[in-house]
Amino acid sequence: MQDKIVIGIDPGSIMCGYGIIRKERGATIYITAGQIAMPKKQPLSVRLKYLHEGLSEIIHTYQPDEAVIEKIFFAKGIKSALHLGHARGVAMLTASMQDIPVIEYSALEIKQSVTGYGHADKKQVQHMVKAILGIKQDLSFDSSDALAMALCHSHTMDYKIHTPLVWS
């Protein structure tokens, strides 16, 4: 497996978490994590612009080879589901515009990969992400979720088939 830099993106319409790791000679190395905060009182269109600009800057700085995002999941209400869908679309488009493949995993797959339990809560995920990557400082849930996505991909990328299957 060749060395790769992976960015996990946990999009939201107010806060977007990101986490970047490098898979190098079988080891997984923590690079950075953080949040992109969007102005709460601005219209959604303006917040999505902030999201695009923030992700573009992060991608430009760290040059990830692949991006990981969580598959659509249950949202609390119709409005929040639509806003989340818009933010996911912006995140996916921003990565795709930089020719970065976007890989999706379900919340169950991500939690299973990082904690061994597909229904782990946010604190359990955060604890395991910090332990796996040797992170001492505090992480927001958005950042630890994004790192969990990147770790899930790191754990499975060696086993993914990257060529289409052809059935005879």
Q: Roughly how many angstroms between the first and final C-alpha of the chain, as a whole number?
A: 28
| Residue 158 annotated in active site | no
The answer for residues whose C-beta is within 8 angstroms of residue 86's C-beta and 6 or more apart is 13, 44, 48
Identified catalytic residue from 10, 66, 109, 145: 10
Pair 107, 149: CB distance under 8 Å: no
Residue 163 banded pLDDT, cuts 50, 70, 90:
very low
Nearest to 152 by CA among 107, 89, 120, 122: 107
The pLDDT, as a whole number, for residue 155 is 87
CA 45 vs CA 49, 60, 90, 101, 122: distances in Å: 6, 22, 11, 25, 29
| Residue 70 annotated in active site | yes
| Residue 99 annotated in active site | no
**Which tens digits make up the pLDDT trace of 1-60?**
478 999 999 999 999 999 999 999 889 999 999 999 999 999 999 999 999 999 999 999
Domain ranges of the chain: 4-156
Identified catalytic residue from 66, 70, 109, 145: 70
| pLDDT greater than 70 at residue 62 | yes
Architecture label for domain 4-156: 2-Layer Sandwich (3.30)
Q: What is the pTM for the complete model shown?
A: 0.91
Q: Count of H helices and E strands in the chain?
A: 5, 5
Identified catalytic residue from 66, 109, 142, 145: 142
**Which tens digits make up the pLDDT trace of 99-145?**
999 999 999 999 999 999 999 999 999 999 999 999 999 999 999 99
